[in-house]
């Protein structure tokens, strides 16, 4: 028995989470009750129209009194919903445990035991990702950009499930960013971090639109990729401009272009139209990249809360 108060956070985000809820809670009840002196289970309902209460009422009273249910007033993204649970965690250690580990609640004990080796953050590391073949290259591109254009140490095979010490969680909660990507936040906070391999593959349960929005937030908010892209676009445009000027002068004075082809100096209407079109496209692209940064700044300035709680309940 560990003389530790532990908080376990479970997220109800997909239909599969709701279907696994009873098994999830009963497994946690056995594991936590046998190994920890005090504990709490914080459930975050990210789908307001679902009645989680109906799944909790049949459970034993001893289990129900350990459950703290948070119902968000409107659906938000997974990163913000996790934050809602972390904000209300009171334990010496906080564990985010996904419902895909409902059959193996002992993962909580494994995470805790690893943390006692001097680590403040310990996460579960998957062997592979469950994703369609057509999306795998997108994940590779996303994590390449994340690692190449930032100082973040992000494991592309890490589950959301992890244990966080009290001091690391206090530091994490100080980062009140509205554009939130939790894996990047963990890296920014730092502290000693370790992983535990697991055979459970990374689920691919979010739709493409949500994954795209999350990746766009991560790239624009936590990397210098777009800024570097704008620099290379400028360099490429400048080199092309030099080529065009040099070619025009060569045609004027030698009546041949840089490729050695014969050319007439006063015949350039088509080339001029193409040149204008190219620079218009480059200018438009630059404006689009700048608009992303301006949008991010605007979002942060508004200081909107990342989530709103409709109600909380003890059983």
Q: Write down which residue in 206, 237, 252 finishes a domain.
A: 206
Work out the widest C-alpha separation in the chain, in whole angstroms.
94
- DSSP state for residue 149 in the 8-state scheme: T
- The CA distance from 15 to 274, in Å, is 52
Could you report the per-residue pLDDT of 199-235, keeping only the tens digit for each?
887 777 666 667 777 777 777 777 777 777 777 777 7
Is residue 287 in a domain?
yes
The vertex-9 CA angle with 307 and 79, nearest 5°, equals 40
Is residue 218 in a domain?
no
Residues 232 and 291 in one domain: yes
Residues 155 and 277 in one domain: no
Residues 297 and 148 in one domain: no
Could you report the per-residue pLDDT of 258-282, keeping only the tens digit for each?
766 766 666 665 567 567 767 776 7
Predicted confidence (pLDDT) at residue 302 exceeds the cutoff of 60: no
- The CA distance from 296 to 305, in Å, is 15
Q: What local confidence, expressed as pLDDT, does residue 178 receive?
A: 72
Q: What local confidence, expressed as pLDDT, does residue 164 receive?
A: 93
Residues 158 and 278 in one domain: no
- DSSP state for residue 129 in the 8-state scheme: B
**Residue 198: CATH number of its domain:** 3.90.550.10
Q: What is the pTM of this model?
A: 0.73
Could you report the per-residue pLDDT of 144-155, keeping only the tens digit for each?
887 887 777 887
Predicted confidence (pLDDT) at residue 95 exceeds the cutoff of 90: yes
Residues 109 and 6 in one domain: yes
Residues 181 and 270 in one domain: no
Residues 142 and 79 in one domain: yes
Q: What local confidence, expressed as pLDDT, does residue 283 receive?
A: 78
Question: Hey, which residues does 9 pair with through a beta bridge?
Answer: 42, 96
Could you report the per-residue pLDDT of 48-80, keeping only the tens digit for each?
888 887 788 888 888 888 888 888 888 888 888
User: Phi then psi for 43, rounded to 5 degrees?
Assistant: -100, 130
Q: What local confidence, expressed as pLDDT, does residue 50 receive?
A: 84
- The CA distance from 299 to 104, in Å, is 39
Residues 38 and 171 in one domain: yes
Could you report the per-residue pLDDT of 153-189, keeping only the tens digit for each?
887 888 889 999 998 898 888 887 776 778 888 888 8
Is residue 315 in a domain?
no
Domain interval for residue 269: 225-302
Token pair recorded at residue 245? 């000027």
- 3-class DSSP state of 301: helix
Residues 45 and 168 in one domain: yes
Residues 234 and 98 in one domain: no
Give, in order, the Cα–Cα distances in Å from 86 to each of 115, 245, 299.
Answer: 18, 59, 22
Q: What local confidence, expressed as pLDDT, does residue 94 receive?
A: 93
CB 11 within 8 A of CB 79: no
Domain total for the chain? Answer: 2
Is residue 81 in a domain?
yes
Residues 118 and 88 in one domain: yes
Question: Hey, which residues does 195 pair with through a beta bridge?
Answer: 123
- 3-class DSSP state of 202: strand
Higher pLDDT, 98 or 147: 98
Cβ-based neighbours of 6, under 8 Å, separated by 6 or more: 32, 36, 38, 39, 40, 91, 92, 93, 94, 95, 108, 112
Cβ-based neighbours of 27, under 8 Å, separated by 6 or more: 102, 103, 104, 105
Is residue 130 in a domain?
yes
Is residue 169 in a domain?
yes
- 3-class DSSP state of 256: strand
CB 103 within 8 A of CB 146: no
Mean pLDDT throughout 96-125? 89
- The CA distance from 70 to 2, in Å, is 27
- The CA distance from 95 to 122, in Å, is 9
**Poorest-pLDDT segment among 78-92, 165-179, 296-310:** 296-310
Please give the sequence-ordered ranges of beta strands (E in DSSP) within the chain, or none if there are none.
2-12, 36-45, 67-72, 93-96, 121-126, 158-165, 193-198, 309-314
Residues 202 and 233 in one domain: no
Helix axes 21-35 and 107-115, enclosed angle (nearest 10): 40
Is residue 220 in a domain?
no
Is residue 40 in a domain?
yes
């Amino acid at each position: 028995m560990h003389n530790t108060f532990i908080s376990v956070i479970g997220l109800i985000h997909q239909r599969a989470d709701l279907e696994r809820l009873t098994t999830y809670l009963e497994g946690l009840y056995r594991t936590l009750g046998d190994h920890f002196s005090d504990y709490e289970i914080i459930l975050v309902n990210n789908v307001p129209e679902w009645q989680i209460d109906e799944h909790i009422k049949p459970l034993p009273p001893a289990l129900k009194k350990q459950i703290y249910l948070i119902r968000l007033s409107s659906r938000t993204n997974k990163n913000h919903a996790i934050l809602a649970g972390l904000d209300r965690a009171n334990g010496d250690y906080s564990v985010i445990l996904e419902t895909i580990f409902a059959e193996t609640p002992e993962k909580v004990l494994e995470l805790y035991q690893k943390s006692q080796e001097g680590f403040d953050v310990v996460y579960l590391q998957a062997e592979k990702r469950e994703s369609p073949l057509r999306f795998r290259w997108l994940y590779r591109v996303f994590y390449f950009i994340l690692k190449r254009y930032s100082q973040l140490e992000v494991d592309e095979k890490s589950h959301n499930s992890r244990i966080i010490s009290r001091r690391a969680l206090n530091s994490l909660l100080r980062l009140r960013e509205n554009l939130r990507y939790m894996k990047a936040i963990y890296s920014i906070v730092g502290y000693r971090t370790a992983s535990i391999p697991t055979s459970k593959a990374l689920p691919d349960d979010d739709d493409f639109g949500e994954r795209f929005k999350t990746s766009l937030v991560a790239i624009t908010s936590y990397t210098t990729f777009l800024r570097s892209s704008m620099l290379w676009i400028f360099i490429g445009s400048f080199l092309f401009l030099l080529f065009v000027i040099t070619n025009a002068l060569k045609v004027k004075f030698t009546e041949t272009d840089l490729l050695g082809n014969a050319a007439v100096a006063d015949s350039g209407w088509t080339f001029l139209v193409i040149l204008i079109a190219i620079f218009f496209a480059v200018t438009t692209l630059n404006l689009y990249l700048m608009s992303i940064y301006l949008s991010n700044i605007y979002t942060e300035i508004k200081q909107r809360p990342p989530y709103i709680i409709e109600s909380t309940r003890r059983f």
